[in-house]
Structure 1
Amino acid sequence: MTDQAQLRRRLLDSMTATGSLRTEPWKRAAEAVPRHEFLRGGYFRLVTDAEPTAWEAVHEGDEGWLEGCYADTSLVTQIAGTIVPEDVRGRIMRLPTSSSTLPSLVLRMLEDLQVEDEHKVLEIGTGTGYSTAVLCARLGAGNVTSIEYDEHVASRARTTLGRLGTYPSLVTGDGLLGHREDAPYDRVIATCGVRTVPAAWLEQTRPGGLILATVGGWLGSSELARLTVHEDGTASGPLLGGGVNFMLARPDLPPPLGLLPDLGEGKEHETPAGAEPLSNWTARFVAQLAVPGAQRVALHRGGRTEDVLIDVESGSWAAVYEDCGRWLVRQGGPNALWDAVEEQFGRWRAAGAPALEEFTVSVTPEGQAIHW
């Protein structure tokens, strides 16, 4: 076997052993798709000793490039909305905007999609095209529609898929709107995060069909949900657990914070919860249900660290900090953000602090609700 074939086999064996790859049809599909073909433009590697966070480009042919292609890890392929590895020599300190998702998560999600032969699938977020190719290998390209928001990313994926002789329906546009021309679909899968499952996805999915999407928010916690679409045009289903995290769909990204509010203003009082509602993945998920428009900033002021929540649209804010063994919160603006967080967090704790797998998502054309 060639080096890439050996590396691919090792990755497939690892995914099988960990349970990400569970059924023969998906094993055959994964085996048919060489991941390195979708990374010939290179990728960015995190610089581990850099402060602030920095990335360095790994180009095709560089030492470790091929091994990296078959590592079970996400590989950043675009930074700051336009910058690709070919553009960079050295380090860059900007935020990633596109990546090739770690293969074990790709295959876990495809297994969780519960497809059957001849199902039509809508994929939101083509990315490099790797997951699109695996879908095509399993179902046939004629049953796959994939949407990518970024025109440059979409063009690269189209070129790679064509080079491999794979021709699904590829669309450049806002995936939150779906693609009505190829509807209805039996399955919808999103490889980007969303704050709310869009009504368009429900409308374009057959009754009894499934939607698999990562639901999250601006406090940085998210989870995979599998929803069944009902005859009345609504959908519901559980969170699947596992702490799944994707970059948010670009239309769902938070607004710029702009000028920070005067944190010396506002009303101050003790908070019995302290910073616990922001302390871990599940707690933040619960907290962001209460304040979906809030973003979090850590500020160092007066020798202490303050966790600050800011809702740009309403102008509301809350700063939580410890002082002489007491936890205090100072709030300003029209909405008491921390009061809402404490109330939600308290109800969750009173219910026994259920795990995210015990949460249910319900979606109607009018909106979304998450409850436990």
Structure 2
Amino acid sequence: MTAAADAQLQLIDRLEASGALTPDWRQAFLDVGRHLFLPDVFWASTGGGYERCDRAESPDRWMELAYSDVAIVTQWDGGADDGQREPTSSVSMPTMVASMLRDLDVRDGHRVWEGGTGPGWNAALLAYRQGAHNVVTVELDPAVAAQAAANFRALEAAPTAVVGDAADGYPPSAPYDRGILTCSVREVPAAVIGQIRLQGVLVLPFAPLFGGGAVARLTVSGTTAEGPFTGSSAFMRMRQQRYQAPPVDDYLPGDWPGDAAQEHTTLSPLDVVDDWLAAFVVGLALPDLYYRRSDGDGMTTLWLFDTAVTSWATVDFVDGASRFEVRQSGPRRVWSEVEDVVRWWEKEGRPGFERFGLTVDGGEHRAWLDEPANPLPSARG
């Protein structure tokens, strides 16, 4: 057995033992080696940042990382350089790939659409599982799509690969029994929902503007898609949905604090934004809020804004403090809204990702706890 095959088998066994990989997917993971979709130079997310690995310099480490349960970045900044400012293409961590394919629940003969080809590993797994003629994958970036096409040429079963906007789906091959996105969205594209068959399934990473993220498993009924979140996720956002925030001066003409009076809170702002689940809950309840932060020596200032550019707040975290200074301005008290959502979540027992769900109906997004009839606080008014 080669070193690659041995590393691949060990990874598959670990994925099966964890429950992420179901038995019906094992053969596809054996047939489609992850290392075949990785460039000679990549950056592995190893916890403390991104580790650059060059196959020519460190072939053993390169193969070790290829079959480690980590995400691997294959392009930075749209391919402009490797300045490592923002990842724009990657191969997802194997646990996430396996668990999302599990959630997809494909059956023999199902036609599958994928949005976000990337280097192509996920699409290739689908092609081997479903048959190449049943899989369509769409990639926006021509350079990334070209590399995926080159990767597919080495396979016995290659999906139909299209250069285009995943937000548009791919009408020529619709309808599909299943759909999967490999980039996160804060708004589920209506065109994609419209191309999934009645009672078909759409699996996607959903990431509110405020922060956090989770995989949603939505069942489609006409123009409506509804279903639970199945677990935490962290994906690059769909490029068309990356928010370009206006300058702070649009909210605060003149010097801080403007007309904002001093208040105090006992809720640490870092307990909100540094907790992936807490930030996700706030983002679900308050989808039009976002934040920036500035970190200093022993102090962090959190700036909160609404997308309508009407209201803002600041909260100052100081090491060792139990009360934190707040300033709020505008018709909304945006920090008070955040605090209300967090207190509600705590009162409910801090429910996890799997107890939340999402309904998308005609472009409107409604988040809920346990069932659609139990909307989150902001939806109750």
User: TM-score scaled by structure 1?
Assistant: 0.89
What's the CA shift string for 1:173-203, capped at 9, x where partnerless? 2212211111111011111111022211221
In structure 2, stretches of 5+ residues that fail to align are: 370-381
1:77 pairs with 56, 61, 74, which one? 74
| Counterparts of 1:200 and 1:360, CA distance in 2 | 21
- 1:297 aligned counterpart, secondary structure: strand
- 1:239 aligned counterpart, secondary structure: strand
Amino acid corresponding to residue 238 of structure 1 in structure 2:
P
Q: Corresponding residue for 1:255?
A: 244
1:288-367 to 2 correspondence within 5 Å?
A: 288-300=283-295, 304-311=299-306, 313-314=308-309, 316-322=311-317, 325-367=322-364
- 1:289 aligned counterpart, secondary structure: helix
What's the CA shift string for 1:53-101, capped at 9, x where partnerless? 6763524563321222111211110111114xxx66xxx4422121111
1:110-259 to 2 correspondence within 5 Å?
A: 110-230=101-221, 232-241=222-231, 243-256=232-245, 258-259=247-248
Amino acid corresponding to residue 223 of structure 2 in structure 1:
G
Out of 316-325 and 284-293, give the one that drifted further.
Answer: 316-325
| Counterparts of 2:118 and 2:91, CA distance in 1 | 7
Q: Corresponding residue for 2:36?
A: 37
| Counterparts of 2:244 and 2:51, CA distance in 1 | 24
Structure 2 residue 248 is the aligned partner of structure 1 residue 281? no
- 2:63 aligned counterpart, secondary structure: helix
**8 Å CA contact 1:127, 1:153 repeated in 2:** yes
Amino acid corresponding to residue 210 of structure 1 in structure 2:
V
Cα RMSD after superposing both structures: 2.4
Q: Corresponding residue for 2:366?
A: 369
Following superposition, the deviation at residue 322 of structure 1 comes to: 4.3
**8 Å CA contact 1:314, 1:334 repeated in 2:** no
Amino acid corresponding to residue 118 of structure 2 in structure 1:
G
Cα distance change, pair 305–238 in 1 and its aligned pair in 2 (3 A): same
| Counterparts of 2:189 and 2:106, CA distance in 1 | 21
Cα distance change, pair 60–313 in 1 and its aligned pair in 2 (3 A): farther
Following superposition, the deviation at residue 263 of structure 1 comes to: 3.6
Following superposition, the deviation at residue 315 of structure 1 comes to: 5.2
Cα distance change, pair 150–234 in 1 and its aligned pair in 2 (3 A): same
User: TM-score scaled by structure 2?
Assistant: 0.87
Q: Corresponding residue for 2:2?
A: 2
**8 Å CA contact 2:210, 2:291 repeated in 1:** yes
Following superposition, the deviation at residue 256 of structure 1 comes to: 4.4
**8 Å CA contact 1:46, 1:56 repeated in 2:** no
| Counterparts of 1:302 and 1:54, CA distance in 2 | 25
| Counterparts of 1:361 and 1:238, CA distance in 2 | 6
| Counterparts of 2:110 and 2:47, CA distance in 1 | 43
Following superposition, the deviation at residue 219 of structure 1 comes to: 2.8
| Counterparts of 1:337 and 1:102, CA distance in 2 | 35
Amino acid corresponding to residue 263 of structure 2 in structure 1:
H
Following superposition, the deviation at residue 278 of structure 1 comes to: 3.0
**8 Å CA contact 2:181, 2:204 repeated in 1:** yes
Q: Corresponding residue for 1:13?
A: 13
Q: What percent of counterpart residues are identical?
A: 35
Q: Corresponding residue for 1:264?
A: 257
Following superposition, the deviation at residue 47 of structure 1 comes to: 8.9
Following superposition, the deviation at residue 329 of structure 1 comes to: 1.4
Out of 285-294 and 186-195, give the one that drifted further.
Answer: 285-294
Cα distance change, pair 34–328 in 1 and its aligned pair in 2 (3 A): same
**8 Å CA contact 2:266, 2:322 repeated in 1:** no
- 1:369 aligned counterpart, secondary structure: strand
| Counterparts of 1:279 and 1:44, CA distance in 2 | 24
**8 Å CA contact 1:126, 1:157 repeated in 2:** yes
- 1:194 aligned counterpart, secondary structure: coil
Cα distance change, pair 44–302 in 1 and its aligned pair in 2 (3 A): closer
Equivalences, count: 360
| Counterparts of 1:300 and 1:312, CA distance in 2 | 23
